[in-house]
Structure 1
Amino acid sequence: MSEADFYSAVDRMPDHFQKLMSGEPLPLRPSKEWAGLHAIYVFYDAEGEPCHVGRTRNLQGRIRAHTANSHHSASFAFKRARKELGLKATYRKGEGRAALLTRPEFRSAFDRHREEIRNMTIRYVEIDCPIEQHLFELYAAMRLGTSLSEFTTS
């Protein structure tokens, strides 16, 4: 991507945002129409507030994964459970994600958050270009005021 292409992509961010926001929030149920769809998506909680912005190369599969019984796939539910219980990420042996799921209080919080996510709604906008996807994910998160924790590293 040339510098001119980059600035052109940046200039498209407001148009993508307008398209994203013009759609009605949909039930969070995987649709066959979403298979293989490259998209940026926004989850809305029970109060209709945006709570998560994500990107994917397969919207149908990613939506299904968000409620899977796996800490690898259902990362949003996992992070919500960890935040609820005041637990920080750790990479020490025996204290990671798999270990947390063996703790009854964590398992309960994780399952509850997966269920909450199942009941959320979604808006999405199709964007094929990976660089434009990255830019728009950050742009949408900033415009909507959702967590930017996906953009930090430990």
Structure 2
Amino acid sequence: MIETFRLYIEALHPAYERLVASTPFKYAELAEQVVPARGIYLLTEGGQHLYVGRSDSIRQRLRSHCAVSSTHHKAAFAFRLAREACGVPKASYRPEGSRADLMTQEKFRSAFEAQKARLREMDIRVVEEVDPNRQALLEMYVSIALGTPYNDFANH
């Protein structure tokens, strides 16, 4: 194995352990939290780890996921949960069923708002990782280790 990659791999589990051992907080507590600028965040509901993401601006990314004012372009996880709640599990790239089309439907808009509210009640954990390569590897490692059902690394 290439030495540089081996070092990256060896750093994954300790970072994972720091993440899962960190004290969770809610979105409403974000302003008071010491949150690293860059790294990994984990969203958990009722003890079930649902989604792990990475960002070079964790605080802003969490706002994008959860803020009342976030649009379907920024609150991608809430949008995915709304699709699931409305029985539209697959993304459509045609005009009918597209993001824009779904957002014109009152039932879907309501579900989207409800899912953003749901995200605001989830437990959030964060861990710092400034290196983008390590971020990507750590996101995958945490997702695989915890079996987060909403992470998808498929090509689109």
TM-score scaled by length of structure 2: 0.89
Quote the Cα distance in structure 2 between the aligned partners of 1:152 and 1:114: 24
Partner of 1:82: 83
Partner of 1:71: 72
- Size of the aligned set, in residue pairs, is 151
Q: Are 1:44 and 2:44 matched, yes or no?
A: yes
Report SS of the residue matched to 1:139: helix
Partner of 1:7: 6
Alignment of 1:96-107 (within 5 A): 96-107=98-109
Quote the Cα distance in structure 2 between the aligned partners of 1:135 and 1:148: 17
Report SS of the residue matched to 1:90: coil
Q: Which whole-Å deviations, capped at 9, do the CAs of 1:77-126 have from their partners, x for residues lacking one?
A: 00011112221201113431111011111111111100000111111110
**Residues 53 and 149 (structure 1 numbering): CA distance in 2 closer, same or farther, change over 3 Å?**
closer
Amino acid at match of 1:13: L
Q: How far apart are residue 26 of structure 1 and its match? A: 1.3
Q: Which whole-Å deviations, capped at 9, do the CAs of 1:34-88 have from their partners, x for residues lacking one?
A: 3x7101010111x122111000101110111002430111000000111122212
Amino acid at match of 2:79: F
Structure 1 unmatched ranges of 5 or more = none
Amino acid at match of 2:59: Q
RMSD: 1.8
Quote the Cα distance in structure 1 between the aligned partners of 2:117 and 2:95: 29
Quote the Cα distance in structure 2 between the aligned partners of 1:3 and 1:83: 41
Partner of 1:56: 55
Sequence identity of aligned pairs in percent? 33
Quote the Cα distance in structure 2 between the aligned partners of 1:148 and 1:64: 19
The ranges of structure 1 where at least 4 consecutive aligned residues each deviate by more than 4 angstroms after the TM superposition are none
Partner of 1:153: 155
**Residues 148 and 119 (structure 1 numbering): CA distance in 2 closer, same or farther, change over 3 Å?**
closer
Quote the Cα distance in structure 1 between the aligned partners of 2:7 and 2:150: 24
Amino acid at match of 2:136: H
Partner of 1:127: 129
